[in-house]
Structure 1
Amino acid sequence: MTTQYILDAVEAAQVDTDLLGGKAENLALLTRNGFTVPKWWVLTTEGFSTQLEQLGIKDWVEDKVKLLAGEENNKVIAGIAQEIQAEIGKQQLNDEIIQGIRSAISAEVLARTSFAVRSSVVGEDAEGASFAGQMDSYLYQSGENAIFTSIIKVMQSAFNHRALAYRIQKGLDLSDIRAAVIIQEMVDADVAGVMFTAHPITGSRQHALISSTWGCGEGIVSGICNTDETTVALYNDDVDTSINDKDTALIFDANGTHGTIEVPVEEVRREIACLEKSQILVLRDIGLKIAESYQMPQDIEWCLKDGHFYILQTRPITSLPPINAATDDVQVWDNSNIQESYCGVTTPLTFSFANRAYKHVYEQTFRLLGISEKVVQENQEMLNNMLGLINGRVYYNINNWYLGLQFLPSFKTNKADMERMMGLTDPVDMIQDKQLSFNEKLKKLPQIFKALFTLLSRYRKMDTLVAEFRSHFQQVYSAINREQLHTLTIGQLINKSKQLDAEIFLNWTSPIVNDFYVMTMNGKVHRWLEKVSVEYPDIVQNNLLSGEEGIESTEPAKFLLRMCGYLRQHEEIKNLVLEGENSKLLSLIQTCDPQFYSQCMDYIERFGDRTIGELKLESITLRQDSSFMFAILKNFLANPDLSLESLAKNESKFRKEAEELVYPLIESKLGRRSLRKFKTDLGKLRDAIRNRENMRLARTRAFGLFRSIYLEIGEQLAFYGKIDEPRDIFFLSIEEIYAYKEGRSIHTKLDTLIAPRKQEFASYEDNDLPHHFWTKGAVYCNNVYEYPHQDEDLDLNSEHLKGTGCYPGVVEKNIRLIFSPDDELSLDGQILCTVRTDPGWAPLFPTAGGIIVERGSTLSHSAVVARELGIPAIVGVPNLTKILTDHEKIRMDGTSGKVERIEVSDND
């Protein structure tokens, strides 16, 4: 019976690990794998239980520790610890345990050898709980009595104040404290220390950190001894050692019978390295093999005697700081442009839908430019990751956008043009135009010429291509009857979604080519202006683009103004609109004025999907709630001077002034021929912007169709009890919805999948992110999403702000901060201030005295529409909505982009 309590290393490797505890289990693995470990034995956890049972306190101890569950008062913990330790120390070691030790370790060995006696608790040295330093160890124990006494003390230490508090902190089970005790031959070390096979300071898993000192390693653990610190690469021989003054060593107390003593280190050895480089590399290799055995980084105690290394114990590293990823793993994120379409927190359905659409579109573009199918397939990782979703917000993956541009001729010019079009205030230089050898250039020439020819030929036919695209889209769009969607099954609705995806987004080459055209021509016009040294070229270029007719982004506002004209002629229905509750007006008008109701329904049919946040599938549009339309009508009616005629007066004024400035300048400096070329380029840019805005309305309508389909899927899933409410559908991804229909779902309980997701996304609402930041390594692991200069830029009491002027005019009025359709939308000539806009904001603009937007560029929707409507506008004003307060008075200059606070509110 006695032998089951004491096991040697070989026997320990063959029993259940619960008998050994964590430290002995690790020693067994080290021994089994051939590492040099000083000879050792273990008193099993059964022996520990037997000792408590002999004292008659096993149940009493368990009851005592249960009282500590959740306890935070250190005095209470310490009191119970002392009680338990006192009871355990009342009797000597159990006779069966003593006989087991004598049977396992010969009397001769017991008499002439010094031993270390240390704990091995179940759960100790595990991944989540190392218990490092929590229990007591006793070194250089010689003779039976010293060893037996040390075993009792180690058992007591399993219940000491430190160990119990550690268990409570880690949430470990207090009712199952089981300890084994290790008896290990001491090595009278020349040098000892600790090695971390992953660097505990930098977090690098490619480097080890070795701490070493003279004497035994207990001096390091206790903090008595100074150490040399060596960083060594795991996979090459780079070694960097910091040698410190090692004035004290801990060694065997030769004057006593056991234990250690502090001694001064000889002067000559104090500031020389404990380990030579060759020894460091040998130790590194041992540590790497141990880590590979565990397949995780290890914290290893070791010692060196007569040139031989011994491994005393190992445990998993339970905590590492964030890894400082390599430079080539840096990822750049920016939403200066895309935030117009996907503002704020965006749901999983919208993101997965948009990401899929971007992939489809750019695959087509590659093929269109003559890029081989092989190259398209090789770049699937890039095409799948044009966008990112970080804390619920959509960002451009800038690295991949730049990589995509490298397939176009003249990357450097395209890169600058793209940055200008996207409004990147922080261009990225990590990706440069690749310098090709002559042979590489020669090999690439056919693809370059093909891409150039394709783009140029498409540019020449742009108006025709746009007309064909719009005709095809209208045909597809008209084939869907929204009112009949409820008659389809979930499977049929998903098939309808896939069909639309193929018919619309797999035929999207014209919009994307036109976007390239806008980017190219915008850059070209800008370079013309810089060539003749025009003062404020950005402002002049904006003025040249103003007053363009036929831009559908402004059509909703103009349609509503025509509706206002009708209301002004019909006093009774006008009063009903002014006084009625927005959410109930449509049904009232249907009865009171069928003609005006028809106008309302016509507007909803044409522009019902054009709303704030229109590309977010979760956005509530006029098709679900017509309140926004009536809020705008009330705004327009409150301004009697606002009409189609008044808008038209301003549209061409600044355009004409800019032309009168630029045309003579180009002619005088570059000649009449250059002027003709400039006018041609300017005309192409104007056409391209008009086409872009008009095709974006088609995109808005396409998203509206998909929104209706997915809302119906949500209605039916809620009807059958699969989700809690119809709008929960927005918290599933496209792939999850498809998989649910096709039998590939990993998680079929949709309601339990959605609930935590809704909580997660709700938590993102109040945690805004900067427009631009970098991440290293895994995007969601150990990254802080901070703009490098945001602290420098942010002064909440700043009196002067600066952005980019988009349309000239000086306005001195109060501001209105508006962020969503749910805000109070009455402007009445005040300056509209917001974070971002999309085309759905356009109906608000005519009643604004000016427009200032925190994010965006001169080609943003807000800038384009403001120019068309002749409203002074500024975009790209950092921290605008954090600094300005609602209703405060400011002066804005749409030419210089300057904003001056007239009545400054203290923002502390």
Structure 2
Amino acid sequence: MILQLAEAKGCPRDLVGGKAANLAEMISAGFPVPEGFCITTAAYRQILADGAAPLPARLETGIVEAYERLSRGGPVAVRSSSTAEDLPDASFAGQYDTFLGVRGADEVLAAVRRCWASLWSDRATRYREAHDTGHVPGIAVIVQRLVEAECAGVLYTANPVSGKRSEIVVDAAPGLGEAVVSGAVTPDHYRLSGKGEIVEGPGEGCLTPSRLGELAAVGRRLEKHFGAPQDVEWAFDGDGELWLTQSRHITTLFPVPETAGEPRAYWSVNVYQGINRPFTPMGASMIRERQRGMATYMSALGFSDEIVDVDGWLFWDITDGVRSPAKRPKMAAFMDSLAAPSGRLVEQLGRDQRFPSVPPGSDEDTPPENRRRRWDRMIAAWLLPDRARARGVRDAERRIAAFAGPDDATAWQRLSFVESIRGDVCRIEANLPRDANTAGAVGGQLAGRLLRGYVDEAEIAAVFRGIPHNPTTEMDLALWRTGESIRRDDEARRLLLDTAPDELAAKQLAGALPDVIQHGVAAFLTDYGCRATSEIDFGVPRWADDPEPVFAMLVNLLSAEARFESTAAAAETRIVELTRRLPVTKAHRVILARFLLRRSRRLRGLREFPKFCLMRGFAALRKQLLLVGEEIVQAERLGRADDVMFLDLAEVREALDGRDFRAIVARRREVWGREARRPRVPSVLLSDGTVPALESHAGEGDLAGLAAAAGVVTGRARVVRDPDGARIEPGEILVAATTDPGWTPLFLTAAALVTETGGMISHGTTVAREHGIPAVVGVPDATTLITTGRVITVDGSAGTITFGEEHR
């Protein structure tokens, strides 16, 4: 039960814990680590099993003898080494107890007991729950010779704040390093180049340049040895000798694409698509196929042709656009329209010396004949909007009918069908006619110009609340109507409120719910079961696969008002009222503005239609692939059918051909789960790991973003990180990192929307406007700076969030 620290090398973490395992590895590699011993988790587990209050005599004697051999009664450090500590994705820094300057056998034994007890402290338990480590931890204890430190602190081999991999950060203070780690003192702060040169530091600090250089060198050696940037605790003793007391991964750094040569800039596809979790491997492959249909357009803006995948986080290389004075403004406008403040970050990078401008190329504007054809098609759509919309719907239905796939086929035939039709499904958005959709958007813009000086932008935006033919708002309305039917049935309403969503979902699949719920939800899933949260990831289960989120949303909607229908009814009145403000001398403008606003309302809802068609195509292909997965499971090459979503199509073919992918899928699921726990995703990332920060122009104490949907609302914030199962009370303000169509049923009860990313034409803000709620998007760190229950005022016209006076 007691090992010398050096003997812990190669021992399972479940026996010696993370800290001891790392220290033993460092000793083996020749790094200077104070000698010591480890009381393994077997001792802790025996105490638990025996329910022993005093330590067993044999264990107590062993600890005392090891302590006497180590220090002859002198001071030691007694430190925890939990099995859930110093993990690659969770450091557990400061969650378990450490005792320094412990002297004498009785004090050592007491400190060991306190280390064991710290495993179940409130802070450690909460940290484990937040990081979902997935197992009940054990705890070992390390006893080491105490370094009588002249100076001590922490070394980061990459900048933990900016993410920059080529910078080293050192915090140091006289005496023992625990004061720095615990925050008990304000340390000397140094920022070094990768070569150890001082970039920033105090005038008179406790570290000399030579000692900083020594720390930088040992830090780089540790980083190379462990294969990742390190967080290192160190101390210089009175003789000037350097000792290392801990090294672990810096778990907060975001992974970066592998690059060589000049600096590169990347834009997150995850942020652009409104999902705050990594893509599954199958989802990533489908996104690449989808983007091929946009390659020409995106390349003209400065985006790379290929998408880079780093542990499920997908990135476009945007370096060419950042460096091009001609492309950069177009790229920035495009990015901010979908995921602000990405575009403003690109504009800032354009002034960064690391991205020098290149000479203008031969970019050409759209040929005149193409522009004329585009205008001809838009005018036709304005004149006959219903015909234009019907033509687009017919085209889509014809394409979707071809995605259905065979009912009776072998797994090989199903896979071949998916391979043959994948391109058509993934590029359906690009292939559908956009005339009606474009006419709807441009019509509103032209009307705004005609009314300029008499009507402000917020008033025009209000005209487009409750517009028809939008599949996303129609989905929300269908769910609300289902909730209304349930609300009128007392028995069904009580069942919905008193039963957990997962139980309701199981009963739904078994056909065991009251008719009003059973039939209502079944009808909803028939039309919208292809949708889901983070639905752009092909690998994510659809609501038809797992209706639990639908039941959670229904509970939320039992208190919702018929906001959509009321905004739609007021639109015509608003059009007449706004256009009457023009003087009688501008009667021609009145007629044209009314015409364009009315036509725009009838066409603008098609903005969401191509994405809905894509989801229907995804659902059809998922059905075929899951059937293939079932056969591979029967052949014992996958553990479950949806494991196919952690392969690509070529690998699925290999699995059918006999290759066992169970171990590979298990590793990929582990990585996916680890990455999914990241609290946020940077919208723009540099190849050296830097996450560029936006220059803020908000007033003191306030937050600023992009004004995305007009209106002013004051209410209590509700921070939501996952919409599945979330509850938004009427009047609360929804605060989220990002949203996609799977979030929009929450908009029916939310009073306003605040997100960290998003733009004027992103799915979430489009639907927020149509529901008539104010929205401010592109607010950096909103989910951190705003807490649930805090009173805030959201001004969707000015793009600001103001905190209530009681919270200032």
TM-score range, shorter chain: 0.5 to 0.7
**1:605 correspondence with 2:526:** yes
Change (3 A) 1:675 1:735: farther
Change (3 A) 1:543 1:794: closer
Q: Which amino acid aligns with 1:605?
A: T
After superposition, the CA RMSD in angstroms is: 4.6
Q: Distance in 2 between matches of 1:739 and 1:405?
A: 47
User: How far has the Cα of 1:353 moved from its partner?
Assistant: 0.4
Partner of 1:764: 675
Asked if the contact 1:339/1:836 (under 8 Å) is kept, the reply is: no
Asked if the contact 1:336/1:422 (under 8 Å) is kept, the reply is: no
Change (3 A) 1:841 1:512: farther
Deviations 1:70-126 (A, max 9, x none): 6656899xxxxxxxxxxxxxxxxxxxxxxxxxxxxxxxxxxxxxxxxxxxxxxxxxx
Asked if the contact 1:711/1:726 (under 8 Å) is kept, the reply is: yes
3-state DSSP of counterpart to 1:389: strand
Partner of 1:836: 738
Partner of 1:881: 783
**1:554 correspondence with 2:487:** no
Q: Distance in 2 between matches of 1:846 and 1:422?
A: 22
* The one of 748, 765, 775 aligned to 1:846: 748
**1:422 correspondence with 2:341:** no
Deviations 1:588-646 (A, max 9, x none): 46345345422221111101122221222232322122222222222222x2xx444x5
Partner of 2:795: 893
1:547-626 matches, within 5 Å, as 547-586=466-505, 588=507, 590-591=511-512, 593-594=514-515, 596-626=517-547
Partner of 2:280: 347
Deviations 1:216-272 (A, max 9, x none): xxxxxxxxxxxxxxxxxxxxxxxxxxxxxxxxxxxxxxxxxxxxxxxxxxxxxxxxx
Partner of 1:648: 565
Partner of 2:606: 691
1:159-170 matches, within 5 Å, as none
Change (3 A) 1:475 1:401: farther
1:589-738 matches, within 5 Å, as 590-591=511-512, 593-594=514-515, 596-637=517-558, 639=559, 642-644=560-562, 647-651=564-568, 653=570, 660-661=577-578, 664=581, 671-673=586-588, 678=593, 682=597, 685-737=600-652
Change (3 A) 1:667 1:808: farther
**1:474 correspondence with 2:420:** no
Q: Distance in 1 between matches of 2:627 and 2:616?
A: 17
Q: Distance in 2 between matches of 1:323 and 1:586?
A: 43
3-state DSSP of counterpart to 1:700: helix
Which structure has more relative contact order (CA 8 Å, sep 6+)? It is: 2
Change (3 A) 1:73 1:858: closer
3-state DSSP of counterpart to 2:676: coil
Change (3 A) 1:663 1:420: farther
Change (3 A) 1:599 1:553: same
3-state DSSP of counterpart to 1:456: helix
3-state DSSP of counterpart to 2:293: helix
Asked if the contact 1:608/1:623 (under 8 Å) is kept, the reply is: yes
3-state DSSP of counterpart to 2:743: helix
Q: Distance in 2 between matches of 1:503 and 1:551?
A: 23
Q: TM-score, structure 2 length as denominator?
A: 0.58
Deviations 1:840-872 (A, max 9, x none): 222222122222222111222222222222223
1:293-442 matches, within 5 Å, as 330-334=264-268, 338-340=272-274, 342-362=275-295, 384-385=305-306, 387-390=307-310, 392-398=312-318, 418-419=334-335, 421-425=337-341, 426-427=343-344, 428=346
User: How far has the Cα of 1:647 moved from its partner?
Assistant: 3.8
1:18-417 matches, within 5 Å, as 330-334=264-268, 338-340=272-274, 342-362=275-295, 384-385=305-306, 387-390=307-310, 392-398=312-318
Asked if the contact 1:801/1:877 (under 8 Å) is kept, the reply is: yes
Q: Which amino acid aligns with 1:575?
A: R
Identity of aligned residues (%): 18
Partner of 1:816: 718
Change (3 A) 1:774 1:635: closer
User: How far has the Cα of 1:326 moved from its partner?
Assistant: 7.2
Q: Distance in 2 between matches of 1:614 and 1:731?
A: 16
Deviations 1:267-295 (A, max 9, x none): xxxxxxxxxxxxxxxxxxxxxxxxxxxxx
3-state DSSP of counterpart to 1:885: coil
Partner of 1:789: 694
Q: TM-score, structure 1 length as denominator?
A: 0.52
Q: Distance in 2 between matches of 1:323 and 1:583?
A: 41
Structure 2 alignment gaps of length 5 or more: 1-26, 36-164, 167-256, 351-355
Structure of greater Rg: 1
Q: Which amino acid aligns with 2:737?
A: V
Q: Which amino acid aligns with 1:728?
A: D
Partner of 1:370: none
Q: Which amino acid aligns with 1:833?
A: V
Q: Distance in 2 between matches of 1:667 and 1:405?
A: 45
Deviations 1:409-433 (A, max 9, x none): xx89966763553344335466999
Asked if the contact 2:754/2:776 (under 8 Å) is kept, the reply is: yes
Q: Distance in 1 between matches of 2:689 and 2:328?
A: 30
Partner of 2:86: none
Asked if the contact 1:807/1:872 (under 8 Å) is kept, the reply is: yes
Q: Distance in 1 between matches of 2:514 and 2:540?
A: 29
Q: Distance in 2 between matches of 1:413 and 1:655?
A: 37
Asked if the contact 1:586/1:597 (under 8 Å) is kept, the reply is: no
3-state DSSP of counterpart to 1:764: helix
Asked if the contact 2:579/2:593 (under 8 Å) is kept, the reply is: no
User: How far has the Cα of 1:827 moved from its partner?
Assistant: 2.6
Q: Distance in 2 between matches of 1:567 and 1:688?
A: 32
Q: Distance in 1 between matches of 2:546 and 2:34?
A: 62
3-state DSSP of counterpart to 1:832: strand
Asked if the contact 2:271/2:738 (under 8 Å) is kept, the reply is: no
Q: Distance in 2 between matches of 1:768 and 1:70?
A: 34
How many residues were matched structurally? Answer: 549
Q: Distance in 1 between matches of 2:430 and 2:490?
A: 49
Q: Distance in 1 between matches of 2:628 and 2:697?
A: 46
Q: Distance in 2 between matches of 1:838 and 1:875?
A: 13
Structure 1 alignment gaps of length 5 or more: 1-67, 77-201, 204-321, 367-375
Asked if the contact 2:753/2:775 (under 8 Å) is kept, the reply is: yes
User: How far has the Cα of 1:784 moved from its partner?
Assistant: 0.6
Change (3 A) 1:460 1:388: farther
* The one of 445, 462, 478 aligned to 1:543: 462
Q: Which amino acid aligns with 1:393?
A: W
Q: Which amino acid aligns with 1:422?
A: L
Asked if the contact 1:891/1:900 (under 8 Å) is kept, the reply is: yes
Q: Distance in 2 between matches of 1:404 and 1:663?
A: 46
Q: Distance in 1 between matches of 2:331 and 2:28?
A: 61
Partner of 1:801: 703
Asked if the contact 1:355/1:384 (under 8 Å) is kept, the reply is: no
User: How far has the Cα of 1:880 moved from its partner?
Assistant: 0.8
